[in-house]
Structure 1
Amino acid sequence: MSENKSVNKLVTRVEGRELIIERVFEAPRELVFSVFSDPVHLAAWWGPQGWETEVHEMDFKINGVWLYCMTCVDKNQGDFFGMKSCGKAVYHEIVVPEKIVYTDMFTDTDYNVLPEMPETVVKMDFLEKEGKTTIITRSQFSTAEALKQVVDMGAVQGVSSQYERLDNYLSHIQ
């Protein structure tokens, strides 16, 4: 699981209990950061292709909470059609427009944390160079097994699809 992979411009690698994902976006850092910190923006692109996201609550500040639920609306996704995937994030560090650190948790549709699912501490760095923004996400898991569980659930493919949506969204709002 430690080899480098590139999927749709996405570069991923595993280091110990950490999943590292990097991607470059053709947009300035302030704009890219803003689409992660504004609930209206997030609802427009968050989640993989064929899924819609409802932001139930978002308090983008230290110790603030973000509650969201994604629903598969694409009938072509078979058994996933109609499925919901909900989550809760608690923000620990925010440095505008450079960094976001939060704990990410799986929840039920009432936003109760699912104890059988792994929690992740996510650190996102936003680096600008020549008008483009590189996002480097480091997702730290409590165990190698928890990391494997999330990877086996399709997390890398989901992020790749989600970042394609983000790319399209950024091109429309610039």
Structure 2
Amino acid sequence: MSIKSNLLAAVALLTLTGAAWAGDSAAKITVTDPYARSSTMNSVSGAAFMMLRNDSGQDDRLIAVSSDIAERVELHTHAEDANGVMKMREVEDGFPVAAGESHALRRGGDHVMFLGLKAPMSDGDIIPLTLTFEKAGEVEIEIPVDLERKPEEGGMSHGSKSN
């Protein structure tokens, strides 16, 4: 990566490490520490991770996601099958975010899945993503692609997961 690319990526990361908010004071969702990745440059799928915080007085639920970077964008989780094998599956009813609680979208757990990527995910790219909540409505965020990040890095391993 060139110095200019590194500088642009650093500025984007600093800009995006802040929080994004949705809704009014009655239905406020905060999104922090977002990042996206694919396993290789030639991958046809990728994933996004972040922390969702519900600072409202009412329970809410992330019910849909959308982005123009892939043919399909879905909410996914990892679940153990009858043979003890972990498999990814779509979560059609979404992820609950209880009032006053956080819900982590992290590697090996709940996450946003990009299926049928229209272009490779390159380190430092910025991905637009719309999160739709039952009560808070739509939250539009921009997520940096970070192909070097390890699963335990960032705030993802420190948050609580509410179900």
Same fold (TM over 0.5): no
Q: Which has the higher relative contact order, 1 or 2, with Cα contacts under 8 A spaced 6 or more apart? A: 2
TM-score, normalising length: structure 2 = 0.30
